[in-house]
A and B are shown apart, each in its own frame.
Chain A
């Protein structure tokens, strides 16, 4: 079995996001970038499945600018066998990413495609679903547990009501939740080895995919500042304020 894992380069989750003054986006110059956290879970799970002898190869793929190569390299350092970087500049929307991934799937013919449930930068939560539609494959989203069966997967999903367990036939798309596993650290020797693993570079335009944005972004602004909390002296005062000021009771 072969697993393709899609990884995205995003602003590190610890960085305090700053909106550009002209409202055209957020500041990314000299800002620490990392792998989208749930994508780390996707890689970890794929590598675990391979280590358990249930997969033969793990291929990491990313779509983005030249520097997204670092994200692919990181995936190689924690156990992916080889990488693919599809180069495309500017804002690449989920639809374009899914179309690119569709082409890569047609080329690589994996049995499974893993990715994070959503990216922490745009929070779209669309790519996996769109790819499933384009390929007409079954999908298991928000996976917090994956069990590999003979020709299917048993996937536990994080849903509003609790946990849902479904079975999907292979080939399938799985989008991963942060609860799925604890991603490993890349060790120094493995980082060294990763430098020697191959990364194939493809231009998005060579795949015949139009990556032109379909959504017009009007403005990016900071969320309104929250007012500071206050201390109340008594329960009476609290009830008073909840009734008259907050008007919630």
Chain B
């Protein structure tokens, strides 16, 4: 069966904040443009996971009257707290001593998934065609090497790669411009960065893994509009990370933890650090008597300015966190992702109308507030490579005193997959067993994500060398995939005294951590059959 082809002016890969903003802005600029969005999740929002304290700056530009359009942006931040946690104690840091970028009084507590659902409604009303359940699986190129579009996944392939009765071939979607907006560590974005050397001269990208749980808590513990962050325990001084707790509506809180994937100890389990964090007296007293109703995890960008690749290439743009526009000290990426989407749309409109080169994206970016934000924020994350305490002292100077204008730029020295030390040289960590009240295991957590993949399909987590996990990674690093995967996809099982590396791909919640952290870069995340993965509600 030959593949069908559909042609659009603009093909957008990914229905998150950046891709949806591109689509909306394009239609506002020229309602005659044919624009489509491909989304791998079964519906818009189902693969979106974010804190989220939302800065409305980009949305104010995109849809100035959003307040009148029944948007899901409702809960204004009313109170802020920052705590340093010791093992049992906690120290409250006065908020006036926080850098301005970490002050949130103009912002809102939202569910980004719901914002995306709402943005999708706005986009569809403008005539954008949105196709959920259709992952873009491959980049298509013209003969001159420029990007021509993408191919969608074949559906109905069995484990061995044979066509099932339900086989439905993917199709080729061609765009005058293709916009890649897959989010952090997009699997096509990764290929494009390599092929077009978009990261030439840049520092290696830095990532974190973020966890989020939604809890329904007792009324007496709930303060709608309260935003709280913590640093310190349970992480040691050398591991970058911290927590968030946002008190949303309906007695719900969004509770989460972010850990830099540049951690060194292969015995560290980000999932268990998060679970353990909840047992701290300052946290436990808030969630005690409550009920966990959602769980999820997703890798996020931490590299910022120094690691931001070139975002244009022949025939295509790379936007949002597919490139890496998150502002780390602000702990926010939605407004910057949306802004990059708006700039992309303006670029494309000029490109199509006046035949200007897509490289004008760069000029537009550099004259935007997005660029200024990322520039000012650039030294924060690398300073934490000196440890939490020095990092905080430096950040205080850099952000409060000099407002990000220090005349030098600290570098990111290593990619995250290079930072693990051999297992034998690092301390083992004894994590407490889950109590199933405050803390949980991975299995019961993944259950809450509604994750499912059609059972009879090829494994979408590809090993370059299938023997490496046992022959090398197990000995050297005690196979850290068992721990860094937040969904328990990877297991080392012993059968008759022989170790076996097992991949439970149907549990995968599409966080991409394995693709980032695997020390030999042996695991490649590719798209599974459309609609697979988590079914997040209001994450």
Are A and B associated in one complex? yes
What residues make up the interface of A, taking CB atoms closer than 8 Å to B? 12, 14-16, 18, 21, 29-32, 34, 182-185, 187-189, 191-192
Closest to A183 in B: B166
Main secondary structure of the interface of B (DSSP, over half): mixed
Given contacts A14-B452, A30-B113, A30-B117, contact A185 B216 (CB under 8 A): no
- Decide if A21 touches B216 in the complex (CB within 8 Å): yes
Please indicate the chain A residues that have their CB under 8 angstroms from the CB of B114 in the complex: 30
Please indicate the chain B residues that have their CB under 8 angstroms from the CB of A34 in the complex: 42
Name A16's contact: one of B42, B117, B131, B450 (CB within 8 Å).
B450
What residues make up the interface of B, taking CB atoms closer than 8 Å to A? 4, 6, 42-43, 45-46, 111, 113-114, 117, 129, 131, 134, 152, 155-156, 164-166, 168-169, 171, 173, 216, 293, 447-448, 450-452, 530, 535, 537-538
Pairs across A and B, CB under 8 Å, 19 listed? A12-B42, A12-B535, A14-B450, A16-B448, A21-B216, A29-B537, A30-B111, A30-B114, A30-B117, A30-B537, A34-B42, A182-B165, A184-B168, A187-B168, A188-B152, A188-B173, A189-B6, A191-B131, A192-B129
Shortest CB-to-CB span from A57 to chain B, Å, is 23
In the bound complex, how far is the Cα of B134 from the Cα of A184, in angstroms?
15
Q: A-B pairs with CB below 8 Å: how many?
A: 61
In the bound complex, how far is the Cα of B216 from the Cα of A152, in angstroms?
56
Name A32's contact: one of B46, B131, B169, B171 (CB within 8 Å).
B46
- Decide if A192 touches B6 in the complex (CB within 8 Å): yes
Shortest CB-to-CB span from B221 to chain A, Å, is 15
Please indicate the chain B residues that have their CB under 8 angstroms from the CB of A183 in the complex: 166
Please indicate the chain A residues that have their CB under 8 angstroms from the CB of B42 in the complex: 12, 32, 34
Please indicate the chain A residues that have their CB under 8 angstroms from the CB of B134 in the complex: 188
In the bound complex, how far is the Cα of B216 from the Cα of A200, in angstroms?
42
In the bound complex, how far is the Cα of B538 from the Cα of A182, in angstroms?
31
Closest to B164 in A: A182
Name B447's contact: one of A16, A30, A182, A191 (CB within 8 Å).
A16
Name B171's contact: one of A12, A18, A29, A189 (CB within 8 Å).
A189
Please indicate the chain A residues that have their CB under 8 angstroms from the CB of B43 in the complex: 32
Name A185's contact: one of B46, B131, B155, B537 (CB within 8 Å).
B155
- Decide if B166 touches A18 in the complex (CB within 8 Å): no
In the bound complex, how far is the Cα of B1 from the Cα of A189, in angstroms?
15
Sort A-B residue pairs by CB-CB distance and give the 4 closest, nearest first.
Answer: A185-B155, A14-B452, A185-B168, A14-B450
Name A30's contact: one of B155, B166, B538 (CB within 8 Å).
B538
Shortest CB-to-CB span from B478 to chain A, Å, is 26
Please indicate the chain B residues that have their CB under 8 angstroms from the CB of A12 in the complex: 42, 450, 535
Please indicate the chain A residues that have their CB under 8 angstroms from the CB of B45 in the complex: 30
Shortest CB-to-CB span from A46 to chain B, Å, is 16
- Decide if B165 touches A188 in the complex (CB within 8 Å): no
Please indicate the chain A residues that have their CB under 8 angstroms from the CB of B450 in the complex: 12, 14-16, 32
- Decide if A15 touches B535 in the complex (CB within 8 Å): yes
Please indicate the chain A residues that have their CB under 8 angstroms from the CB of B117 in the complex: 30
In the bound complex, how far is the Cα of B134 from the Cα of A185, in angstroms?
11
Given contacts A15-B535, A30-B117, A192-B6, contact A184 B448 (CB under 8 A): no
In the bound complex, how far is the Cα of B448 from the Cα of A15, in angstroms?
8
Please indicate the chain B residues that have their CB under 8 angstroms from the CB of A184 in the complex: 156, 166, 168
Please indicate the chain A residues that have their CB under 8 angstroms from the CB of B168 in the complex: 184-185, 187
Closest to A187 in B: B168
Which one of A29, A183, A185 has the greatest number of beta carbons of chain B within 10 Å? A185
- Decide if B131 touches A188 in the complex (CB within 8 Å): yes
Which one of A32, A182, A188, A192 has the greatest number of beta carbons of chain B within 10 Å? A188
Please indicate the chain A residues that have their CB under 8 angstroms from the CB of B448 in the complex: 16
Please indicate the chain B residues that have their CB under 8 angstroms from the CB of A30 in the complex: 45, 111, 113-114, 117, 537-538
Please indicate the chain A residues that have their CB under 8 angstroms from the CB of B155 in the complex: 185
Known A29-B538, A30-B111, A184-B156; 9 more pairs at CB < 8 Å: A16-B448, A18-B293, A30-B537, A184-B166, A187-B4, A188-B4, A188-B134, A188-B152, A189-B4
In the bound complex, how far is the Cα of B36 from the Cα of A189, in angstroms?
13
Please indicate the chain B residues that have their CB under 8 angstroms from the CB of A16 in the complex: 447-448, 450
In the bound complex, how far is the Cα of B113 from the Cα of A31, in angstroms?
11
Given contacts A30-B114, A32-B43, contact A185 B6 (CB under 8 A): no
Shortest CB-to-CB span from A22 to chain B, Å, is 12
- Decide if B535 touches A32 in the complex (CB within 8 Å): yes
Shortest CB-to-CB span from A239 to chain B, Å, is 29
In the bound complex, how far is the Cα of B532 from the Cα of A12, in angstroms?
12
In the bound complex, how far is the Cα of B129 from the Cα of A189, in angstroms?
12
Please indicate the chain B residues that have their CB under 8 angstroms from the CB of A15 in the complex: 450, 535, 537
Closest to A70 in B: B43
In the bound complex, how far is the Cα of B516 from the Cα of A37, in angstroms?
37
Please indicate the chain A residues that have their CB under 8 angstroms from the CB of B535 in the complex: 12, 14-15, 32
Name B6's contact: one of A18, A29, A188 (CB within 8 Å).
A188
Closest to A27 in B: B537
Please indicate the chain B residues that have their CB under 8 angstroms from the CB of A182 in the complex: 164-166
- Decide if B537 touches A188 in the complex (CB within 8 Å): no
Shortest CB-to-CB span from A185 to chain B, Å, is 4
- Decide if A31 touches B537 in the complex (CB within 8 Å): yes
- Decide if B171 touches A14 in the complex (CB within 8 Å): no
Closest to A32 in B: B535
Please indicate the chain A residues that have their CB under 8 angstroms from the CB of B447 in the complex: 16
Which one of A14, A31, A191 has the greatest number of beta carbons of chain B within 10 Å? A14
Please indicate the chain B residues that have their CB under 8 angstroms from the CB of A191 in the complex: 131
Please indicate the chain A residues that have their CB under 8 angstroms from the CB of B152 in the complex: 188
In the bound complex, how far is the Cα of B450 from the Cα of A34, in angstroms?
14
Please indicate the chain B residues that have their CB under 8 angstroms from the CB of A21 in the complex: 216
Closest to A184 in B: B166
In the bound complex, how far is the Cα of B363 from the Cα of A140, in angstroms?
68
- Decide if B451 touches A14 in the complex (CB within 8 Å): yes
Please indicate the chain B residues that have their CB under 8 angstroms from the CB of A189 in the complex: 4, 6, 171
In the bound complex, how far is the Cα of B152 from the Cα of A30, in angstroms?
26
Shortest CB-to-CB span from B137 to chain A, Å, is 13
Closest to B131 in A: A188
- Decide if B4 touches A185 in the complex (CB within 8 Å): no
In the bound complex, how far is the Cα of B113 from the Cα of A30, in angstroms?
9
In the bound complex, how far is the Cα of B1 from the Cα of A187, in angstroms?
13
In the bound complex, how far is the Cα of B262 from the Cα of A195, in angstroms?
47
Please indicate the chain B residues that have their CB under 8 angstroms from the CB of A18 in the complex: 293
Please indicate the chain A residues that have their CB under 8 angstroms from the CB of B131 in the complex: 188, 191
Closest to B173 in A: A188
In the bound complex, how far is the Cα of B173 from the Cα of A31, in angstroms?
29
Please indicate the chain A residues that have their CB under 8 angstroms from the CB of B156 in the complex: 184-185
Please indicate the chain B residues that have their CB under 8 angstroms from the CB of A185 in the complex: 155-156, 166, 168, 530
In the bound complex, how far is the Cα of B165 from the Cα of A182, in angstroms?
8
Please indicate the chain A residues that have their CB under 8 angstroms from the CB of B111 in the complex: 30
